[in-house]
Structure formats: structure tokens, C-alpha cells
Structure 1
Amino acid sequence: MSDQVVFPPLMSGHEVTGPNDAFATAQAKAAMGCDAGLIVYNLGANSLSAALVLTPEVPLSRAMTMLPTCAIGFQNALGALAPPEVAVHLEWGGGIRINGARCGMFRVAASNRELDQISDWLVVGFTLPLWPDNNRPGDTPDETALYAEGCVDVEAPRLVEAWARHTLNWINRWEQDGPRPLHEEWRGLAHAMGEDIIQDGLTGIFMGVDEDFGMLLRDRDETTHLIPLTTLLETR
């Protein structure tokens, strides 16, 4: 297995090791003015993390679409590398589900929180556990790790490469064709759509998303609430 990671044109890589956080490092480099397309990654022994730096050309309310775009890129990448029986789904809030159990998380941060303003930068990243924290998986049946789900042949460097390629492809499609293809792909991957969930303190049925991927949640009083993706933004 080679740890060298090769990125497609328009993208570049920066590896961090040990306790260094890929998501935080990507934000720091973005704030210093690095080029868009930089992927910071950490190939840990027990976990994999990576984060992509973007420089939006649209207001933050629309640029947040890059969160589900990067998540779809990840699903497509893992789907191509994992055995065909492995199911990969995506939570609206950034969670990754493998064979129904939680397995990692996507996060997003931006240079500002003003919805109608264009951010200087946007960073979308994920962390994926490779091995369980303990030898008693029955203690946490709703949580898993990649290699516990029959994916031991999925090499972390190859997954980062595939994520970069698939994400770049979806970004290009979004720019050329608008949000419709992205929505169609995401609906087939969304976890818990049509089910009762709790989000931002609200309980209701997850009905779907609006054009900018804001969650549509219908409560018991038949009131539909719109929860924008910007509620997921983390502060640096």
C-alpha cells in the first residue's frame, strides 16, 4: 500500500500527521489565503480525516450546498471502492451511515455567517473512523467503523483520492447544470427521509429539502419548518 495521495487537476494536497486536525488546519490555511482546491488530510492509524478549501462565488446561503456536494462525493467514492453489499447513506446534518450505523461526520465552516454575503472561504471536511474504539461493538450498536463493515480492502489514501475526484465532478455539475442533478442524487442517499427525527430542537417528519438543501420538517401540528444548512456552520 502506498500512502502517496494523487489529486486531480485544480486540486492539491497537504498532509498533517499525529494529533493535527485536518479541518482546523484547512481553515487556518484558508484564512491565510491559500488557493481553492487544497485538501488537507490526515491518514491516521485508526481514523481518516480530510478537508477541502473552497472560495465561493455565490452568497453563503447558496454556497452551503457544498456540504451535501462533498458528502455525495464521499458516498460515490466509497461506493466505488467498497464491496457492493456495503450501503452508504448520508444524514442531512453531516453524519455518514454505513450499513445503517453512524460512521463519521462531515463538518463545514466559513469566513463569515452573513447569508447574503460571499464568503472569502468555505471549508468542508469529514472524519471517518477506520477501526472501532474497543472490541465490544455490541455496546454501541448504532456506531461503527469502516473496517468493521467489510471494507478492509479500502485503503485510506485511495479513498481520499476518490473523494477528491468525485467531489470535483459534482462541483462541476452543480456549476454547469444547477442544483437539480445534485438533488436527484442526494434524495437516493438521504438517511431517515420520511421518518420522525429531531433537528435543532424540533421534532417532526423529515419531508425533504428546499432548493438550497434547507431541511423541511413537518411537526405534529402540520406546520412545516425550514431549517437552513447554515445552522450547521461551525465557528473557527
Structure 2
Amino acid sequence: MLQAETLQFLTELKENNNKPWFDENRKTYETARKNFVIIVETLIKGISKFDKSIEEANLQAKDCMFRINRDIRFSKNKEPYKTNFGASFSKGGKKAHSAGYYLHIEPTECFVAGGIWMPEPEDLKKIRVEIDYNFEEFNGIVNTPAFKKVFPSGLDREAFTARPPKGYDEENPAIEFIKLKSFTASSNFEAKESLKSDFIENVLEKFKAMHPYIEFLNRAVEG
């Protein structure tokens, strides 16, 4: 589980997002980071039990965790640090284009998610084709009781086309999914949930529910 001190550090970082404060509190950051490393390592082992691609990838925590430093070169927001801990679990690591699982911890916003966020045009085309050709299978995956329990609203709809993509029409039974430009599902939870002893167990249960969805997407982009 997450330590209360880890959440407290992130809270204080949000209020003091500058290098002098961070340097002064670097030891506290290192302690908080070690806490998150243990969580990530435990999740890797847990995911490996039901997703063989993660087991075979032999991932380490560093392959999954994102740096706390923000890239501010092209951003209007010049705050130097992220105010969350995040990790992406996919067989190619955090920088891969393959589908995977994601955990986000922040005092004001915590969630688990999975899928492929804003895939490259070629991968997007492959996913749409796979859904079109195997819609019955896909529809069954995102409507299983296990999936709907974790993601009652279904897939995220943060990015989609207003009109059907070229080669598809509104009468296509899969059109609501084919219009998507990003293929993710997410589930929010309160930060206090991360402090409970069954936190990791609950995260793994949600990841396991999305495993068939992850497999479908990876089959599409690798086909």
C-alpha cells in the first residue's frame, strides 16, 4: 500500500512546485519514490500471473515509472515537477506503442487505466480494421460483467471523429468504436483508497478485468 507520507509529499509539492523547495526536500522525495517503486514491483509480479507478455518482458520498476520532472520546453506551464506518481505496464515498457495498464497516484486525482492512448495513424487504422472484422468478439470483451464492473461507462470518449472515418459508414454496427481516436478505459478512485492494505489487490483486480481488451488491441497493432 501507499504510505501516508507519500501522499503528503505530493500535496506539499503541488503547493511548492519549484526547484529550491524540491532540493530542500529531496530526501523526502526519495523516500516517497522508494515507496512507489515497491508498489510498481509488486504490480509487475501480480500482472505477470495473468498476462504472460508482461512476465516474458521481465520488466523492472524503472521500465514502467515516469520521471517526476516535467518537460517544460514546449509547455506554457513552466512548473518543473509533476505532482503525481505514474507507471505504465506494457510488454515494451513505458515508451512502447503497445497496449498496457496504467496507474496514476495524485492527492486530488487517482485512477487506473488501460489500452492505447492516441495511437499513431497506422496503428489506429489497424485497430479500426480489427474491431470492424471482429466486432462480435470486441463487443463481448467490453461488455463482460468483469469489464463493466470496473468501467461502467465503457471506453473513454476523450477523442473521436464526428463523422465516420474513410471507408466506414454510420450503419456499421461498430461505428461508435471505429470513430474513436484513442482506445482507453479508466476508473477513478479516492486517494485514501491507496492507503488501505488491499490497495494492490484491488488494482490488480481492475487490471485483470481489462486484460482481454489489452490482448485484443495488441493483436491488432501487431497484425
State if a TM-score over 0.5 links the two structures. no
If you compute each CA radius of gyration, which structure gives the higher value, 1 or 2? 2
Higher helix share: 2
Category of TM-score, reference length = shorter chain: 0.3 to 0.5
- Structure 1 length-normalised TM: 0.33
